[in-house]
A = this chain, B = another copy of it.
Amino acid sequence: MAAISSHPLEEIFHPRSIAVVGASKNEQGTGWVGRLLSFGYKGRIYPVNPNAKKVNGLKAFPNIKNVPEKIDYAILNIPAHLTPQALLDCAAKGVKFVHCFTAGFSETGTSKAKQLEARLAKIAGDRDIRLLGPNCMGIYCPASRMTFDADFPKKTGPVAFVSQSGTEAMRLVFLARDTDVYFSKVISYGNAINLDAPDFLEYLADDKDTKVVACYIEGSRQLARLTAAVKKCLRKKPVIVLKGGLTGNGTGAVAFHTASPVGSKTSWDNFFKQTGAIPANTMGEVADIIQTLLRLNPPKGRRVALVGRGGGIGVIAADICERAGLEIPSFSNATRKRLGQIISEAGVSTRNPVETMAGMNGAADFYLRGLPVVDKDTETDIILVQIAIDIYGGRHTDLTPEVKDAAYALCAVADSLKKPLAVALFTGGHPKATGEALIIRKILTKAGIPVYSGVESASRAIGKVITFYKTGSCN
């Protein structure tokens, strides 16, 4: 059940009515009206189109001013040059929130488009309209069934994403869904000429439905306010920030994406220093950090017990962990002795990394008998299990039953472990291995175990989250 607060931005996520200005006459399920309908938006939808009587079965109106009821939220889906008049019409109708989906403003680089954008900003400012965009996808809020993609999950979750990019918002929603992680609110806010990241961060700080906040930010006209808003948020919950355009290349790309003032590298270094936000470099990393924050119990230290098929895999994993600021100390003698009683194969290590025995059957057996031993080791703080399906028995074999057994064995033992448990699941790219990996991942993530696509991504996310717990302000 979504919490409805008295915050002035609350209503943008729970409008009782939405007008789609420029609802396409021939739109099927893919237009704005169609996707709200098929996603089950709970309020009333009013298509606006002077040339249509109906859109997707709903009565259409020639102008938003002709709609007989109050409109809480309007979506502008019309050519850029028509947006100022449409915004004035929204103001006349008393619409508080307007999402300008239309692109073709300052990001085109032309002075004409920049002037048009400035006009939009002035109208919004003068008429007290909170304008989202232009050049953005708007809001996804599963609780109220608002969405910009009808294929998004209807399930709610504890994560909010404030994204200057619509495509990255889509990417993160799907990446997260694939690990059984869902969202409270996602905001794609584009050129940010009125509503900007700080507005949403200030709101999210107090949003009871949100436990973790992620941001993709290309730049902000209000960096000082953003810094303060992130700090405010961080007193209550973790904030991850992917800053796009930190390099020369990236800065150039921002110019014609959202035309945001990207700021200097120094100013953003300061932002991260001052706020303590968790920095990320790719959307995959954002998803990994979210999983870590939600699922990995805070580790007591950086010392990792590596468990998995051994040999070179263990050596390379140990190198990767160290590069991510984690340690792989030897187990205590007591642990090694107890592991030695379980492991009898020659050439199988009882130190750290410790090897599970051959095949997925050996892995399942080790999870049940070996992990409780590793859990009691005094020299390590975190258990990282490596599952390398690609090397188990080659790829002509169907390992599904063994793979499932191993995953369920891991789940069975997970609850009794005191140390935080994480899984690095790497599969190469063969159809069979990939399919088996998806099965394992589903079983493990449903059981609340964080699963990463490899030791590189696991150690990177875990290393950053440990640093955050040590220095961050929200715990």
By a beta-carbon cutoff of 8 Å, the part of chain A in contact with chain B is: 79-80, 102-104, 107-108, 135, 149-152, 163-168, 170-171, 174-175, 177-179, 216, 218, 242, 244-250, 252-254, 256-257, 281-284, 309-323, 326-330, 346-349, 351-353, 388, 390-391, 393-397, 426, 428-431, 433-435, 438, 441, 453-454, 456
Residues A312 and B244 in contact, CB atoms below 8 Å apart: yes
Which residues of B lie under 8 Å from residue A102 when comparing CB positions? 346
Residues B328 and A252 in contact, CB atoms below 8 Å apart: yes
Given known pairs A253-B318, A253-B328, A388-B171, the reply for A313 and B165 (CB within 8 Å) is yes
CA–CA, A329 and B247, complex, Å = 12
Which residues of B lie under 8 Å from residue A347 when comparing CB positions? 103-104, 107-108, 135
Residues B351 and A256 in contact, CB atoms below 8 Å apart: yes
CA–CA, A257 and B246, complex, Å = 41
Which residues of B lie under 8 Å from residue A178 when comparing CB positions? 428-430
Q: Please name 10 pairs of A and B residues whose Cβ atoms are closer than 8 Å in the assembled complex, sorted by A.
A: A165-B311, A174-B433, A244-B316, A249-B328, A250-B316, A252-B328, A252-B351, A257-B315, A282-B316, A429-B441
Residues A283 and B175 in contact, CB atoms below 8 Å apart: no
Residues A310 and B257 in contact, CB atoms below 8 Å apart: yes
List the B residue with the shortest CB-CB distance to A284. B454
Residues A395 and B244 in contact, CB atoms below 8 Å apart: no
CA–CA, A15 and B317, complex, Å = 35
Given known pairs A165-B311, A167-B312, A346-B102, the reply for A319 and B438 (CB within 8 Å) is no
Residues A179 and B250 in contact, CB atoms below 8 Å apart: no
CA–CA, A245 and B322, complex, Å = 10
Given known pairs A178-B429, A330-B252, the reply for A167 and B309 (CB within 8 Å) is yes
Q: Which of B171, B281, B311, B428 contacts A166 (CB 8 A)?
A: B311
CA–CA, A108 and B351, complex, Å = 10
Nearest-neighbour CB distance to chain B for A403, whole angstroms, equals 15
Q: Which of B174, B312, B352 contacts A218 (CB 8 A)?
A: B312
Residues B312 and A163 in contact, CB atoms below 8 Å apart: yes
Residues B395 and A174 in contact, CB atoms below 8 Å apart: yes
Given known pairs A167-B310, A313-B167, A319-B246, the reply for A438 and B428 (CB within 8 Å) is no
Which residues of B lie under 8 Å from residue A282 when comparing CB positions? 316, 320, 454, 456
Which residues of B lie under 8 Å from residue A165 when comparing CB positions? 311-313, 315
CA–CA, A150 and B395, complex, Å = 10
CA–CA, A250 and B284, complex, Å = 26
CA–CA, A41 and B104, complex, Å = 65
Which residues of B lie under 8 Å from residue A171 when comparing CB positions? 313, 388, 390-391, 428
List the B residue with the shortest CB-CB distance to A137. B311
Nearest-neighbour CB distance to chain B for A456, whole angstroms, equals 6
CA–CA, A253 and B150, complex, Å = 49
Which residues of B lie under 8 Å from residue A393 when comparing CB positions? 151
Nearest-neighbour CB distance to chain B for A347, whole angstroms, equals 2
Q: Which of B79, B104, B163, B167 contacts A388 (CB 8 A)?
A: B167
List the B residue with the shortest CB-CB distance to A312. B165
CA–CA, A375 and B426, complex, Å = 36
List the B residue with the shortest CB-CB distance to A285. B456
Residues B319 and A249 in contact, CB atoms below 8 Å apart: yes
Residues A429 and B179 in contact, CB atoms below 8 Å apart: yes
Nearest-neighbour CB distance to chain B for A461, whole angstroms, equals 14
Q: Which of B177, B318, B346 contacts A252 (CB 8 A)?
A: B318
